[in-house]
Structure 1
Amino acid sequence: MRGLIFDIKRYSIHDGPGVRTTVFFKGCPLRCLWCHNPESQKPYQQIIYYEQKCIRCLTCKAVCEKKAISFINNRIEINTRLCDMCGKCWQNCPTNALEVVGQYYEIDELIKELTKDSVFFEDGGGITISGGEPFVQYDFLMELLKALKEKGLHIALDTTGYTAEEKLLSTVEFVDLYLYDLKIMDPSKHKRYTGVDNKTILSNLEALDKKDAKIAIRIPIIPTINDDEENINATIDFLKQLNNVVSVDLLPYHSMMVDKYKRLKMPFLLGDIKKPTDEEMERLKEAFQNEGFRVNIGG
């Protein structure tokens, strides 16, 4: 069994308690317009083109046996219908202008990679499994959770909650903390901005809470989309019904990922939205704190 991983981040301090290693699964059923990791969405390998690194030597074109690479308007173009991801183009690029997103790991191989820095977990850290959406690769996720738990590691699972309830609840015995994403409470608005409605997400959160799982709620703050008083109040009212929310993390929007969309040849459809101000974030923090929640900004 192999899993497709698009990144492993070490010494993370924003993905759960303590110092952590975070592994990012590739593939996500949502299409949030503000997605900060667009490379996480597709459940298969992709090629990123860094135009500023390219010296136009056309080595990639020469080694491509499928003739999937063209040189148009002074830049490399890859025909994804012809490309078979053989790897020759990025492996032979002298300036690393081409890069593959997504690497396949077997369980033992990934465990070895994730536990390289386990000495740093001794003060309350551990492993965080993120994405994308880890439940897209459910079978691999379960094998990884079991293997990590056998090692006695603290495990956090970052999820959109958009999966079958039985799959979500099957992870409870292995997960110490859920980092659970909430975005928009209105179902039609949620579907407009994420591609799916939130019925499954909300019902799964309630089911998880009934299992006494520890849950940290994560809310991306997207100005003009979900930072209005109506949505914030609806979110607070919903969370007040739950018994096991240990914290609320407010994550301010930023636009640093826009270049990723260009490199992946993916359209960025959100438009020109500004990062929320510090004052705005503090106002939202206070709204949750006034209802008794422990609140963090930025992670």
Structure 2
Amino acid sequence: MSEHGGIESLPQNVLARKPTLMLVDGMALLFRAYYATALKGYIRRTEAGVPTNGIYGFVRYMWDAIRQFDPTHVACCWDMGGRTFRTEQFESYKGNRSAAPDDLIPQFDLVKDVVAAMDIPNIGMPGYEADDCIGTIAKRCAREQNMDVQILSGDNDMLQLTEDRIKVIIMKKGYGNYQVYTPEFLMEEKGLKPSQIIDMKGLMGDASDNYPGVKGIGEKTAIKLVQEFDDIDGILANLDKLTKSVRAKIENDLDMLHMSRSLAEIHCEVPVECPIDLCEFRIDDAKVSAKFAELEISSLGKMMGTDVFG
């Protein structure tokens, strides 16, 4: 068994099923859940006034995906807050984002308590983003431990992680709506290989993460260039084949092109631990029921159904 756990360490009841690890993008689910009700003016609260709407929606989203995709193992990855190596590279990275709403802030810790009560590991690493932890664990489990991996998120940046044993499940509007990406479907839908997602973002930038790419190059041009020349290195080796306008834009923004590409790439060598035996998905009914009761969201138990609460 490796230092991170291995298939040989799995209980026999799990070995009877195909080992599959679901990695949950915690912040993506929590923010989606919070705004789904907050934007309509409704914030669920306990009698003491503690907001729980994000937690409630988070559990619904996660449980629906677990039921639908049936992983044997689950872990949840989180951004840890504070500066990351990307902020060190580019001071303005994500600098356009406003502070979290007051009603969401207390739910950051409370939702992790709920995840822990479900015996799902909470994983994060200071200095890195959840994406980097997800990428690291996904690649490690797929390549070293021969596991299938499912990444649950709403962030299309994750598409760069798809490979034969790694599927990216992108959440669509509403509960139970997903698009499952494999390398084959990514090529079919977008005409791109997984690695080309990084090159595309390097060229066009990302407004939500606040890095510009090459000024004047949008998604359509970025995709066309990557499809024709394979990657940024290929584009730079063939500048003489570009239109004068596109060539000038790239040459005028070379430093930012390389910077943006670096920022777009998910770092898959994070020194993060994820012992696979601790990720086996088992629900302790009493523990979960007690946590739901504490937060006055016991109706979630009924929603989760007889599979959990008998």
TM > 0.5: no
* Greater fraction of residues in strand: 1
Give me the TM-score of the superposition, normalised by structure 2: 0.27
Give me the TM-score of the superposition, normalised by structure 1: 0.28
* Greater fraction of residues in helix: 2
